[in-house]
Amino acid sequence: MSELFSWQRVVANFPVLIVKLPVTFEIVAVSFSLGFILALLIATARIKKIPVLNQILTVFISFERGTPLLVQMLVVYYALPILLYSLFGIDTRRWEKIIFVDLALILNQGVFLGEIFRGAILSIPRGQREAALACGFSDFNAFVKVVLPQAARVALPATGLTLIGLFQETSLVFMIGVIDIIGRAAALGATTGHNLESYLIIAFLFVMINFALTAITTKIDKNLTYGAKSVRTGAA
């Protein structure tokens, strides 16, 4: 058993793997933040049902929701350079591979978060907005000050789960040549012939990240819903 697994290799591999963790955090930060902005635009366009754009988004959403993320990454990685060169003469051969990863994840996050936001906004009764308008609020202020805070409470749990899932989805990026923590583990396994120790380290790190994100989103959710719970239960 000692030939198959060694705690010494775990200790030795940890610093080698941990240096690539910032790459994973960078991918998640860029993809989630820009995907969040894209999601707001998608949700708005879908709610307003803008002609033509709504139909295009329906097809695009069906593609993103109906295909594996790896396929989406490969489509962006191989098809986007051809499209850019054919239409605009842009040569992407010098672009870093992480750019294509970010683009694929931004589109993916934009779709899934957009549907979450759209559902959350539509779940707020129309009477809330109408009451705000009757009180003298403008349409914009009624949305921002009345509808949006309530929608945020509804969307937060699913948004947190999407963020946690994004960390797990970054395990696919090494498939197109981006050396993150998973890619470094694969390289270590190929050179040493031992994979278990590296993947146990990665499993531990991802579980810790999951616990941290879950605790943060749970805390935020409790803070956001405290007032609402007090009103419903009649608490002081």
Q: Which two tokens stand for residue 65?
A: 């929701």
For residue 43, the SS3 value is helix
173: pLDDT strictly greater than 60: yes
Q: Is the dihedral of CA 85, 90, 94, 99 positive or negative?
A: negative
**What does pTM read for this prediction?**
0.87
Q: Each residue of 136-168: pLDDT tens digit?
A: 888 888 888 888 888 888 999 899 999 999 998
3-state helix, strand, coil in the chain (%, to 5): 85, 0, 15
Q: Find out whether 184 and 138 touch, Cβ atoms under 8 Å.
A: no
Q: Each residue of 93-130: pLDDT tens digit?
A: 889 999 999 999 999 999 999 999 999 999 988 888 88
C-alpha separations of 83 from 18, 134, 161 in Å: 36, 50, 33
Give the CA angle between residues 216, 221, 223 to the nearest 5°.
100
For residue 49, the SS3 value is coil
pLDDT at 235: 38
